[in-house]
Amino acid sequence: MSWVEDGWRHVWLPYAQMATAPLPLAVARTEGSRIYLEDGRVLIDGIASWWTACHGYNHPHIRAACARQLEIMPHVMFGGLANEPAYRLATRLAALLPDPLNRVFFTDSGSVAVEVALKIAVQARLNRGITGRTKILAFNGGYHGDTLGTMAICDPEEGMHRLFRGLLPEHPVVPLPVDAPRQAAFDLYLEEHASSLAAIIIEPLVQGAGGMVFHAPEVLRHLRRAADHYGLTLIFDEIFTGFGRTGSMFAFEQAGVVPDIITLSKALTGGTLPLAATIASDDLFAAFLSPSAATALMHGPTYMANAMGCACANASLDLFEREPRLAQAATIATQLEAGLAPCRAVPGVKDVRIMGAIGVVELEHIENPATLRMALAAQNVWVRPFRNIVYLTPALSISEAEIDQLCTAIFKVLVNNK
Ligand SMILES: Cc1ncc(COP(=O)(O)O)c(C=O)c1O
């Protein structure tokens, strides 16, 4: 494994204190819900590579689509040239989403998809001659990415607003209106400040990186009413929740309301290649149309609409049509409910909660998430605790036996950890 040790002197890991970070596990290959390590061990994967690999790793249908596209044309610039997988994907995404979500802007990461959503919301108003509405209302516990624009609309701690004061744009971040008193406070906030706002942004139903915190569909309905009342753009960031994760294809379906913009990434390509999409309403798109170049959306990542990424995304959508992914998410929910229930009795466990194919064990405190991760790997499962939570977001195609192994390992490690 000399490549790990050699490279270790040069790589810089995400979200890691490099002074103390343990050497990562060297992966030789992946298949289904299994990670095969260089040292011969096989881990059951509980998080599907930050919940991207929704069909499991190396699904033959996606692999074939990817290989075919590589032969034909890996990439061609999107400015002025059209590639078939991207145009087909845009058509399919618009068909999959309700009206008026019909206009797709492709990017290459979730953070950038959110950046584009913010630019669309603000510029649509400027293009219509409305000035002074440049703020985005976001929520405590929210997470929308790591770029500077998105950090500014994350929870202030997550986004490190204090550390980066002066660098980050300032946007209001308020408590989620999850109950009557907080709804009243939210309504009052809007009454006083709506005239400076362009948009409201939320991760619908689940605040993922903020600790896998769930809220009721009614919260989304409240936001829809408020956005309509004050003429605000409602952005649902479904980068975590999209593609079956919460039990429905998109989380917003459970609330029966439609946003003005939705952002998608992660499972969009079934965990194969980086791709993201910002899908805007017809009305927002119309705000950019004029005889003048000055009202155009000035954004265009070099690799946007990458043909291989789009071919993989089309193949992933085929699988959602052909294979019973949503039924599998429902089955996983039942299995997680039963499998994680014993954790409720473990001292130090604060909460166990399940939504769709998301299982969360919240602890009072985790001393060292990396140590816990290693203890779980020693049980032959790949689970990556963070803050005070241990969570599972497995492939929707995972087997019952694999779920059992994941839940049993978590219970065993938490008991031994006490
Ligand atoms: C809800 C949400 N938005 C945005 C992002 C950022 O996506 P990316 O890491 O691809 O930039 C994430 C990533 O975890 C996310 O969960």
Burial class (CB in 10 A: 0-12, 13-18, 19+), 129: exposed
How confident is the model over 325-366, as pLDDT tens digits?
A: 999 999 999 999 999 999 999 999 999 999 999 999 999 999
Instruction: Name which residue sits closest to atom 9 of ligand 1, judged by CA.
Output: 110
The answer, yes or no, to whether any atom of ligand 1 lies below 6 A from the CB of 110, is: yes
- Residue 1 has a pLDDT of 60
Residue of 155, 237, 260, 391 marked catalytic: 237
Looking at the fold, whether 109 and 192 belong to one and the same domain comes out as yes
SS in 3 state form for 175-195?
Answer: CCCCCHHHHHHHHHHHHHHHH
Burial class (CB in 10 A: 0-12, 13-18, 19+), 192: exposed
The answer, yes or no, to whether any atom of ligand 1 lies below 6 A from the CB of 111, is: yes
Looking at the fold, whether 102 and 175 belong to one and the same domain comes out as yes
Number of folded domains in the chain?
A: 2
The answer, yes or no, to whether any atom of ligand 1 lies below 6 A from the CB of 258, is: no
Instruction: Name which residue sits closest to atom 10 of ligand 1, judged by CA.
Output: 110
Distance 294 CA to ligand 1 centre (A): 30
- pLDDT for 418 beyond 80: no
Looking at the fold, whether 299 and 332 belong to one and the same domain comes out as no
Express as a percent the part of the chain with pLDDT over 90.
98
Residue found under tokens 């289904």? 32
Q: Which of 258, 287, 322 is the last residue of a domain?
A: 322
Looking at the fold, whether 97 and 111 belong to one and the same domain comes out as yes
Distance 159 CA to ligand 1 centre (A): 13
Distance 240 CA to ligand 1 centre (A): 7
Instruction: From 261, 265, 253, select the one nearest 282 (Cα to Cα).
Output: 261
- Residue 417 has a pLDDT of 79
Q: Which of 272, 301, 322 is the last residue of a domain?
A: 322
For the chain, the C-alpha Rg in angstroms (whole number) is 22
- DSSP per-residue codes, 105-139: EEESSHHHHHHHHHHHHHHHHHHTT--S--EEEEE
Query: Pairing relation of β-strands 135-139 and 197-202?
Result: parallel
Looking at the fold, whether 263 and 347 belong to one and the same domain comes out as no
Question: 148 near 168, Cβ under 8 Å?
Answer: yes
Residue of 143, 155, 260, 391 marked catalytic: 143
- pLDDT for 28 beyond 70: yes
Per-residue pLDDT, averaged over 179-204, amounts to: 98
Our CA dihedral for 19, 383, 54, 350, rounded to 10 degrees, sits at: -110
Cis peptide preceding 100, ω within 30 of 0: yes
Distance 415 CA to ligand 1 centre (A): 32
Residue found under tokens 């980086």? 274
Looking at the fold, whether 284 and 167 belong to one and the same domain comes out as yes
Looking at the fold, whether 351 and 407 belong to one and the same domain comes out as yes
Looking at the fold, whether 49 and 121 belong to one and the same domain comes out as no
Question: 234 near 224, Cβ under 8 Å?
Answer: yes
Looking at the fold, whether 248 and 390 belong to one and the same domain comes out as no
Looking at the fold, whether 40 and 135 belong to one and the same domain comes out as no
How confident is the model over 142-181, as pLDDT tens digits?
A: 999 999 999 999 999 888 888 999 999 999 999 999 999 9
Q: Is 189 a catalytic residue?
A: no
Query: Which mutation among 158, 265, 303 tests ligand 1's pocket best, with the greatest number of atoms within 8 A of CB?
Result: 265
Distance 239 CA to ligand 1 centre (A): 6
pLDDT grade for 9, boundaries at 50, 70 and 90: very high
pLDDT grade for 300, boundaries at 50, 70 and 90: very high
Per-residue pLDDT, averaged over 218-223, amounts to: 98
Residue 252 main-chain phi, psi, to 5 deg: -60, -25
Q: Is 350 a catalytic residue?
A: no
Express as a percent the part of the chain with pLDDT over 70.
100
The answer, yes or no, to whether any atom of ligand 1 lies below 6 A from the CB of 208, is: yes
* CATH number for the domain that contains residue 151: 3.40.640.10
Residue of 108, 135, 266, 391 marked catalytic: 266
Q: Which of 303, 322, 341 is the last residue of a domain?
A: 322
Query: Pairing relation of β-strands 34-37 and 27-31?
Result: antiparallel
- Residue 337 has a pLDDT of 98
**Cβ atoms within 10 A of the Cβ of 296, count?**
12
Q: How far apart are CA 414 and CA 339, in angstroms?
A: 14
The answer, yes or no, to whether any atom of ligand 1 lies below 6 A from the CB of 239, is: yes
Q: Is 87 a catalytic residue?
A: no
- pLDDT for 36 beyond 80: yes
Q: What is the DSSP letter of 11?
A: -
Looking at the fold, whether 305 and 354 belong to one and the same domain comes out as no
* CATH number for the domain that contains residue 374: 3.90.1150.10
- Residue 318 has a pLDDT of 98
Looking at the fold, whether 313 and 344 belong to one and the same domain comes out as no
How confident is the model over 247-274, as pLDDT tens digits?
A: 999 999 999 999 999 999 999 999 999 9
How confident is the model over 389-408, as pLDDT tens digits?
A: 999 999 999 999 999 999 99
Instruction: From 308, 324, 247, 334, select the one nearest 55 (Cα to Cα).
Output: 324
Q: How far is CA 208 from the centre of its chain?
A: 7
Q: How far apart are CA 144 and CA 48, in angstroms?
A: 19
- Domain of 66 in residue numbering reads as 62-322
Instruction: From 302, 301, 292, 305, select the one nearest 123 (Cα to Cα).
Output: 292
Burial class (CB in 10 A: 0-12, 13-18, 19+), 411: buried
* Mean of per-residue pLDDT scores for the chain: 97
Q: How far apart are CA 410 and CA 186, in angstroms?
A: 38
